[in-house]
Amino acid sequence: MIRRHESDERIDGVLARLSWLRGEGIWPNGRRYLWTDAFGLVLLVSLHRARGEARWLGEARQLVSEVERVLGRERGLRIGEAPDRDGQYYHYLAMWIFALGRLGALLPEYQARAVALAHAIHEPFVVPGRGVWWKLQEDLSAPYPGFGMGVLDAFHGFVVYRALADAALAPELAQLEELVEAHRERLALTQDLALGMMLWMTHFHPLEPWARLQRPRSLAVLERMWVDPPGYFCRQPGQRAVKYAFTNHGVSIGLQAVGAMPERVARLREFFRTYRSGDAYDREAITHVMACCAELPGELLVGSESD
């Protein structure tokens, strides 16, 4: 349980970081990147819930407008604004749909947008009985060259569609459920962010067979990846020297979602507050927005005020 004053301190830290990001032109006034913007949108809704200030809903609306203006395509959303971020990722789209749904809990028009986007992208990405394409061409006409089926994508869509709780998605949801059941036994994750995301997914439906299997499996792999000292999760087993701040923040969110390893969550929080990689990630929006979400997971978690 986070003490009240500790929670306030974390929110103050988030606000300070957001102010710095805006002042540096990094986020939300920098180049669009759908994964970062999805987490950022959830963060803005979380700030509104925490502080009750209408300004955060205004910023959320503005963010959605900018993402749709810059990344929006006839169907779906481009991965990012930079030239090398072309095509569409299903898991990025799923995260954006989730974010729209959290905003939609307050402003129903965004719930409708989330459902419409899910409808638009489902058929191109999902191959019933087989899997979900990880990356498609920008117009969703075909798989992107060199990319196959995603690992977590069916699970991600399954959780996100259910969070929308819209009967209109029942046929799509049934297809994803079939894929989850078919792959839950053989799915073996070894990468930090994937493990964090899986833990996050399991906390929505913790008693279902796929979640009961994947949660302890993910925690066991993370146990092998903990590097102490100084206190971080490496990229995957056997790569103790390889670490990324944003992926550790994703692991932190997953661990907080399932209430596991609280002492390690605290340790990595302290480590990454001062850690600098010495490369472009020090100023990348993804690093800082994911850090803010790890400090204030809010609307990412079941049991938040809107549920």
Contact 116, 109 (CB under 8 A): no
Coil, helix or strand for 86? coil
What does the pLDDT read at residue 306? 38
The percent of residues in the chain predicted with pLDDT above 70, rounded, is: 96
Mean pLDDT of 155-174: 96
What does the pLDDT read at residue 305? 40
Mean pLDDT of 63-87: 98
What does the pLDDT read at residue 6? 64
- The C-alpha angle 159, 101, 121, rounded to 5 degrees, equals 65
CA 123 to chain centre: 22
- Among residues 125, 157, 183, the one where a domain terminates is 183
H-assigned helices in 105-208: 108-125, 153-164, 170-183, 192-202
Cis peptide before 124 (omega within 30 of 0): no
Coil, helix or strand for 56? helix
Tell me the two tokens of residue 67: 């993402």
Assess whether 175 and 41 both reside in one domain. yes
pTM: 0.96
* CATH code, domain with 93: 1.50.10.20
Has residue 206 got a pLDDT over 80?
Answer: yes
Say which DSSP state 226 is in: E
- Among residues 159, 183, 207, the one where a domain terminates is 183
Amino acid (1-letter code) at residue 303: G
Per-residue pLDDT tens for 5-37? 568 899 999 999 999 999 999 999 999 999 999
Assess whether 210 and 291 both reside in one domain. yes
Assess whether 47 and 171 both reside in one domain. yes
- The C-alpha angle 130, 135, 140, rounded to 5 degrees, equals 90
DSSP letter for each residue of 268-305: HHHHHHH---SSGGGT-HHHHHHHHHHH--GGGSTTST
Assess whether 219 and 307 both reside in one domain. yes
Has residue 49 got a pLDDT over 70?
Answer: yes
Q: How many domains does the chain have?
A: 2
Per the model's pLDDT, the better-predicted residue between 1 and 112 turns out to be 112
Assess whether 144 and 199 both reside in one domain. no
- Among residues 183, 205, 237, the one where a domain terminates is 183
Cis peptide before 230 (omega within 30 of 0): yes
Domain of residue 223 covers 1-25+185-307
